[in-house]
Structure 1
Amino acid sequence: MKLLSPALFCSFLFLSACGSDEVSFRPDKGDSRQYQLYTKSQMSLEAGGTRQSRTDLGSLLVTYEIEEVRPHLRMLVRADYLQLKMPGRTISSSDRDESDPQFRELMAEGIEFDIDLDSGALLDIRGRHREHWDALIKEGGERFVSEMRKQLNTPALLERIPAKVGAELKLSSFQGSEDLLLRVEEVSDEEVLASIQLDGEQARAYGYLRLERNSGWLRRLAMVAEQPFDEYGFRGTTRTQFLMLPAEQGVPLSSLDVYGWDEPDAEGFIFPAWEEQSAELPAEPASEAQVFPSDVGSIEYYENVRLEYLHALDKTAGHLEFRRLQALDDQGEPLDLQLFGATWGMTRSSRPGEGARTMAVYLPLGWQDTQEKLEALQQIRLQADYFPYLPERLELPVDPQRSSRLELDGAGIELSPTGNPGEFILSFSASEKAFFSMAVEGLTGAQGWLHVESPPADWLTLDDARLLRSVAAESGGWRYRVKFADDVPKVLGVHLLRRQAEAQFSRELQFLSGEAQYDRLDLAPQASYYLHADPSEQIQPVAAPFDLQTLALEDAELNRLRLTLTTEQAALCQLQVLDAPSEAGHALTFLQAPAERDYSGGLQLPATQQWQLRTDDGVRQYFYGIELRAQLRCSGRASWNEVEFELGERPWLIDPRRLPGYVDEPGQRAASFLSRYRFVDESGRALTLLPATSQQQGLDVGIAALSEYLTEEGLLRLAGTPVRVEQLRSDGEPLEKTWTTRLAPLP
């Protein structure tokens, strides 16, 4: 049976309640709270002259329930979700049930703690499932219980804490080691902020915690701790980052990765022109059709469940919330699968051809049959509510002598001079109701750096400082160091975005797995994929230049010949050898060279083609001491012309038989078809083809036959929504160019 670190369960001691001028923990029977817990432990160990290092990561969703308060406190601690990542091994609550079923049943029911509220002493610890708990103890669990008792024997925050700034309290035997100093940093009607510090010979720690004054429960905790390790023949140090946040509906899931950035760039960046920044701000109010262009989104599962919904918007305009989630299998039958999470908000997509999107991440809860349910998960139905942002422009004074701050609806923006000429710290903070946009008028040309305060202790890193500030600062937020290049402006134009209190639009949405969504031909493509990688190759005038005089046979000095043609030239021209000696009984001809490696997954074609002189069997490409005459003959000049073609209600589905001039040629390649017809979206770029079904994904548009892309109804599926259809035509008189080339003999 698996053993888990006691540190994963010890956090509930950071609890309190308050009187009028002091804080102490006196909960009521039936109280319950749920938290997100994240740990990152880095171990540096040595044994027998060999050094080792390892990193363990923990992510948990833990529920704390007060079962009794008299004669002593009884608390049930249950990990509703757990994932521990260790080198070469991962333990998860969603593992298959056959992986240690006794441990899974024990964790599903939880562990009970009996605590004396007056002294804070741990009286007893036991698993709710007594049979499996007894088996755990027999298999070596005494050490697990002993360690947990050692870590939980401190009165910790069960002692009374003065609700007064500057008040200090020593918490004895922290983590079974030395005394921990708690200091009250801030006091308000709602919360108490305290720092926790330890700088001992055996261990050291630094952290911040926020406590609710009225209810007495922990709100947030961030801590970094170092302590010695001396077990199993290994000696060294364990360094742990610890983050604890509320797990409430509407609160997005977090991660310690949020704080693990690279070191700040010493050169910084230059704030762009206001015209570029303002593109981030909502313009006209979004319509319902823009917010909800479709009733379908996508679902993926990898360690967690991710939902993605694409909007018909170029920029973020509001916030989407999901509720009443229902998990279903491929037959539409409900699955007994509990999910916990929230949306991350609306963001601009970084993928080509996409606008704004909303992402949501959910954890699968439970210890029994969870993996089987996830494998059966094919769709999620839910209600989505849209809350628009209401923008307001304000002015923030710029004063080189003192700080300027605006605060509305809990959102704040502050500009503080650093003491250096023209240099300030620009800070943002947000609330559930509002936030200030990072698009700020008056910063154009100024130099900026992401600002991180120095760590509060010399043994802490910048990552640690960012983590600690997430709790120490009332609402976190980004901070920039700004240095103006020229004159300092008198004011900065700032933009407050308030979230409308009531939902403006609501829609029932269906989220499908990748395959299920792909196979729905009635759904518009979620993104646009283009035929050529370089946009400049696609945006051409109706009558494109077609100058053959600029073409030349290349590589004669290497005793070979090649010619580069555009796709239009290749479609309308024929390259042939007029006069040349044969080689070993094989005539010489020009053959199309294989395209360079395709990084698009078979979706794109190169914008040009390479034709090489070879023997007709394709074997030889180097020739010596011969003279050759070659000719390129074209039927006319190329022009792309829009044709009359009704796109219909599903413009991404095209019936090629209705295209003017289309001839159904057996074995016709898709690339040949796409060299004569273009399906252009609103950006002016030509869309590529998608395979008809998910089972056919992987077809290469440069190799596959056109028939392989046809649906059962004989339709072609485009990777986007076209607004017009164009056909390549030949205009004017035929064109030709002839070359006479002599290749040098062997040296």
Structure 2
Amino acid sequence: MYLHRYCHVGLLGVALFVTGCEQSVTFSPEAGDEKRYWIYTASQDAEEGDIQYHLNSLLHYKMDSVGDIIQLQVIPEHLDLSLGNGDRTLNSATSNARNLQVFQSGFDLEVDKKSGTLLSLTGQDADAWSRHVEYFGENHPLLNMLRHQVSVPALNTSISTKVGDKISLPQFLGLPATLTVTQITTETLHATVEGKTNNRQLHGQLTLARENGWIESVYAVISKEQNASDFIAIQSTSNPQHISDPVPYFFHPQELWQTLSPILSSDPSGTPPVPHVMAKDDVFAYESGMLASGIPPYLSATLVHNLGQAPHSGHITLTDFRVRNEAGDDLGLPFLAPTNYHYFNDNKNSENAVLLMGWDHRETLEKTRSATATAHYYPDTLTSYTVQWREGEPQTFTLGDMTLNVTPYPQRQGEYHLSYNHGSSKNLLDTIDGLKGDIGITTLSAGPDWLTDSARDWLAWAGDPAQAIASTDMKLTEESDSVTFYVKARETNPLYSQTVTFLPKHLYEASATLPPITGNGPYNQPEPSEAEEDETEAHREILTERYAVTPFADITIDRSHPSAAMISLPMGWSSVCQAEVINDVEINHNGLIWQGHSKGPFPTDAFQLMTEDGIKQHFYDLTVETRLTCEGSPQWQTIPNVTNQTYPWLMDLSQLASITEDQPISALFKAYRFSGHDGDLLWALDRKGESIQHFDHPLSTILYDGKYLKFSGNIIEVSQLQATGEPQEKTWVTTFPPLPKG
């Protein structure tokens, strides 16, 4: 059973019960207290580093009575279990509620306050609980697991409020452990927890509320045999729909550090780089974004921005996400829009993943015709710091509230390791004045060195930002006495906020006036197969071919098959050349011709030798003389004043001479090319917003509003293939051998 097999860490995590005396954090619940927690658990494979499963749950705790025995309710408000192979085996928002009734109804618990021991656990829905017990038995592994998990995080030890104090815990997440108090604020107590057995080792970050002892957060990693790891994140939330997403990010620092790129310099005039602050009209440039489905229960909400070629800096967040029916009414579905920062991607879109929460919303979700949210734009700020640099020496620099440590590598001239306290909102740029050479990709890590790289990454991203350390390497060729570093910081308050609308994918992409969204698939969609990746890459290579014109002298007859012949014409020549048989040859009263044969719009066309009736294409014991005549040499020439200034991704077909809607799509690309920024070639999209698959179909099948072609990006330049110079020709004599005997 999946739940038994994969939920080793916990389906029903519970608050840490803490008791104590004065000057200690004391768990002091009262009847009627309520608390919600997002609990995330995952397990990482040792060999491949892949996630074997992850479980995300929202649990609601209600205190019924408090005495020597605490009576409480634990009600799962969302459960989401995913296996590493991409299958989602349990999701409360999109699964049949009847099958999950025993979970949806919640559980009644009795816990010994002094020891934290679970005394009883029963389902609140008596009928569903009875059926569950009758079917599985009282000692079914799932029930035993539930009983175990709700009692595991229970501490009956007083927690001192003195930094540095250590406390032995008989059990923390299944291991004996030692808690060390690391920080005290007016509201919270922070601690690290370390534990070890023969084959498991634990490191965690713990935060408790000083006022009542309730847990605020836990981020823990349990390292197992052969470097496999379990991950646990527990976050208290007063608003379940607005939290940081604890889903782990698994990087491989040792590989990334090997990737070096040149250190950038500021403007030669000495003007420091300035982050581009987008205008509000550019942030919210279009009337709608796109709503796409990923693997349930995730939706992808994508906004396209008018960034042009300006450096794009800053980030977008969404709040108050709502889906609506055809009449525009709110369907009332609860969504989690994580407060993580969503930066603009390479396609200058911003994509937010929103999680549908709750129980069995399938029927209501089908009524979705649009979505709305409040989008917030946060710009970045940039501060420069000039320091005195000492070549080859260890150095420490104070850059505002950031401490940068520079450590030279022994016996490696010009090579340094850089590390700094990352905090939650600041980054050191790879723009550095006064140093020349290469710099690596910055990686984040937190926790002790014995953790795996992936575990340290996860703690840095999901856990306490104050404990995250950013690191990178430099390999320098020139060093100056004066060096200027640049620190980029995220603003904590949005510069602009605006209500935005999202249309379902099929409606968005059917609109001519909404820009294309390319390279930005639905969140968490399945990985493509190897064959699909190969096909996509081949298609991309064709579509991004820069239409290089092959010299006339390089055109030859293809005799790869001894009994057939073909003239493959590279891109450009097919529109200006014709081939003909010039000697008198007949087979069964049919002459021979070179028949044009399209192999698609890119990169070649071909002439196939065949009889006039098209029946025979293989020949024996025959000599054929061929002449290829070309009007001139093909050359791409820019056509001025044809781009659409209002909707730059659209092309009015009437602006393209010699092209009509009844011609095949391939005719368009044989005669014209369309370039975006930096000369990148663009490709036309069909009316579903997807890459064209059938180039032999008429152009009318892909026209928007009966007249426009929609392209994969903004069209900056349109070029037409034209013949220039003097006509050219060449002849060949082709001899086919006799038919083989036997």
The separation in 2 between residues aligned to 1:277 and 1:82, in whole angstroms, is 52
Superposed CA deviations along residues 478-527 of structure 1, whole A, max 9, x for unmatched, are 63352534465556533233344543323221112210111222323334
Normalising to structure 1: TM-score of the pair? 0.79
- Equivalent residues of 2:582, 2:627 under 8 A apart: yes
Superposed CA deviations along residues 246-296 of structure 1, whole A, max 9, x for unmatched, are 55665431323x13x347239813231315999997544322232222121
- Larger deviation, residues 26-35 vs 574-583: 26-35
1:375 matched to 2:379:
no
- Equivalent residues of 2:437, 2:474 under 8 A apart: no
Task: Kindly state the Cα deviation for residue 28 of structure 1 after the two structures are TM-superposed.
Answer: 5.2
- Equivalent residues of 1:34, 1:62 under 8 A apart: yes
1:689 matched to 2:684:
yes
Task: Kindly state the Cα deviation for residue 628 of structure 1 after the two structures are TM-superposed.
Answer: 1.2
Task: Kindly state the Cα deviation for residue 381 of structure 1 after the two structures are TM-superposed.
Answer: 0.8
The separation in 1 between residues aligned to 2:175 and 2:378, in whole angstroms, is 50
For the residue of structure 1 that corresponds to 2:13, the secondary structure is helix
For the residue of structure 2 that corresponds to 1:372, the secondary structure is helix
- Equivalent residues of 1:205, 1:223 under 8 A apart: no
Superposed CA deviations along residues 533-571 of structure 1, whole A, max 9, x for unmatched, are 46885488xxxx796445444548956544343443212
Partner of 1:80: 77
Superposed CA deviations along residues 154-200 of structure 1, whole A, max 9, x for unmatched, are 6843421123344332323556x764333334555555443334434
Partner of 1:569: 573
The separation in 1 between residues aligned to 2:459 and 2:129, in whole angstroms, is 36
Task: Kindly state the Cα deviation for residue 704 of structure 1 after the two structures are TM-superposed.
Answer: 1.1
Among candidates 602, 607, 612, match of residue 606 of structure 1: 602
- Equivalent residues of 2:263, 2:438 under 8 A apart: no
Task: Kindly state the Cα deviation for residue 641 of structure 1 after the two structures are TM-superposed.
Answer: 4.6
For the residue of structure 1 that corresponds to 2:38, the secondary structure is strand
Partner of 2:524: none
Among candidates 586, 603, 625, match of residue 582 of structure 1: 586
- Equivalent residues of 2:565, 2:608 under 8 A apart: yes
Partner of 2:41: 39
Partner of 1:48: none
- Equivalent residues of 2:300, 2:354 under 8 A apart: yes
Are the structure 2 counterparts of residues 309 and 151 from structure 1 closer, same or farther at C-alpha, using a change threshold of 3 Å? closer
**Within 5 Å, which residues of 2 pair with 1:51-90?**
55-69=52-66, 72-86=69-83, 90=89
- Equivalent residues of 2:573, 2:633 under 8 A apart: no
- Equivalent residues of 2:422, 2:470 under 8 A apart: no
* Structure 1: unaligned runs, 5 residues or longer: 45-52, 229-235, 597-604
Partner of 1:167: 165
Normalising to structure 2: TM-score of the pair? 0.80
Among candidates 268, 284, 301, match of residue 258 of structure 2: 268
The separation in 2 between residues aligned to 1:296 and 1:451, in whole angstroms, is 35
Among candidates 700, 703, 709, match of residue 710 of structure 1: 703
For the residue of structure 2 that corresponds to 1:708, the secondary structure is helix
**Within 5 Å, which residues of 2 pair with 1:642-657?**
642=639, 645=642, 647=644, 649-656=646-653
- Equivalent residues of 1:532, 1:538 under 8 A apart: no
Task: Kindly state the Cα deviation for residue 93 of structure 1 after the two structures are TM-superposed.
Answer: 0.6
1:669 matched to 2:671:
no
For the residue of structure 1 that corresponds to 2:262, the secondary structure is coil
The separation in 1 between residues aligned to 2:133 and 2:273, in whole angstroms, is 59
1:220 matched to 2:217:
yes
Superposed CA deviations along residues 106-141 of structure 1, whole A, max 9, x for unmatched, are 323433433343443334433333443344333324
1:254 matched to 2:225:
no
Superposed CA deviations along residues 418-458 of structure 1, whole A, max 9, x for unmatched, are 67355544235455555444555566424647778898486
1:740 matched to 2:732:
yes
Superposed CA deviations along residues 59-116 of structure 1, whole A, max 9, x for unmatched, are 223334445445654443333221223587711112332651xx33x32343343334
Partner of 1:445: 437
Partner of 1:97: 96
Are the structure 2 counterparts of residues 440 and 120 from structure 1 closer, same or farther at C-alpha, using a change threshold of 3 Å? farther
Task: Kindly state the Cα deviation for residue 366 of structure 1 after the two structures are TM-superposed.
Answer: 0.8
- Equivalent residues of 1:156, 1:171 under 8 A apart: no
**Within 5 Å, which residues of 2 pair with 1:308-457?**
308-313=302-307, 314=309, 315-342=311-338, 344-350=340-346, 354=347, 356-368=348-360, 370-395=361-386, 404-406=396-398, 408=400, 412-417=402-407, 420=410, 424-431=416-423, 434-437=426-429, 439-441=431-433, 444-446=436-438, 448=440, 456=448
Are the structure 2 counterparts of residues 25 and 420 from structure 1 closer, same or farther at C-alpha, using a change threshold of 3 Å? farther
Partner of 2:533: none
Supply the AA of the counterpart residue of 2:91.
S
Partner of 1:513: 504
For the residue of structure 2 that corresponds to 1:702, the secondary structure is coil
Supply the AA of the counterpart residue of 1:204.
R
Backbone CA RMSD of aligned residues: 4.4
For the residue of structure 1 that corresponds to 2:466, the secondary structure is coil
- Equivalent residues of 2:324, 2:331 under 8 A apart: yes
Identity among equivalent positions (%) equals 18
Task: Kindly state the Cα deviation for residue 607 of structure 1 after the two structures are TM-superposed.
Answer: 3.1
Are the structure 2 counterparts of residues 186 and 592 from structure 1 closer, same or farther at C-alpha, using a change threshold of 3 Å? farther
Are the structure 2 counterparts of residues 528 and 689 from structure 1 closer, same or farther at C-alpha, using a change threshold of 3 Å? farther
- Equivalent residues of 2:263, 2:430 under 8 A apart: no
Are the structure 2 counterparts of residues 318 and 646 from structure 1 closer, same or farther at C-alpha, using a change threshold of 3 Å? closer
Are the structure 2 counterparts of residues 290 and 430 from structure 1 closer, same or farther at C-alpha, using a change threshold of 3 Å? farther
- Equivalent residues of 1:345, 1:358 under 8 A apart: no
Are the structure 2 counterparts of residues 219 and 537 from structure 1 closer, same or farther at C-alpha, using a change threshold of 3 Å? same
- Larger deviation, residues 163-172 vs 474-483: 474-483
Supply the AA of the counterpart residue of 1:170.
S
Aligned residues: 700
Partner of 1:8: 10
1:157 matched to 2:155:
yes
The separation in 1 between residues aligned to 2:175 and 2:339, in whole angstroms, is 42
Partner of 1:110: 106
Supply the AA of the counterpart residue of 2:259.
F
Task: Kindly state the Cα deviation for residue 606 of structure 1 after the two structures are TM-superposed.
Answer: 0.9
The separation in 2 between residues aligned to 1:419 and 1:670, in whole angstroms, is 59
Task: Kindly state the Cα deviation for residue 309 of structure 1 after the two structures are TM-superposed.
Answer: 1.3
- Equivalent residues of 1:24, 1:158 under 8 A apart: no
Supply the AA of the counterpart residue of 2:506.
E
Supply the AA of the counterpart residue of 2:321.
L
Partner of 1:722: 715
Partner of 2:28: 26
Are the structure 2 counterparts of residues 629 and 290 from structure 1 closer, same or farther at C-alpha, using a change threshold of 3 Å? same
1:132 matched to 2:132:
no
Are the structure 2 counterparts of residues 622 and 211 from structure 1 closer, same or farther at C-alpha, using a change threshold of 3 Å? farther
For the residue of structure 1 that corresponds to 2:204, the secondary structure is strand
Task: Kindly state the Cα deviation for residue 242 of structure 1 after the two structures are TM-superposed.
Answer: 2.2
- Equivalent residues of 1:306, 1:360 under 8 A apart: yes
Partner of 1:602: none
- Equivalent residues of 1:535, 1:685 under 8 A apart: no
For the residue of structure 2 that corresponds to 1:138, the secondary structure is helix
- Equivalent residues of 1:454, 1:462 under 8 A apart: no
Are the structure 2 counterparts of residues 677 and 27 from structure 1 closer, same or farther at C-alpha, using a change threshold of 3 Å? same
Supply the AA of the counterpart residue of 2:578.
Q
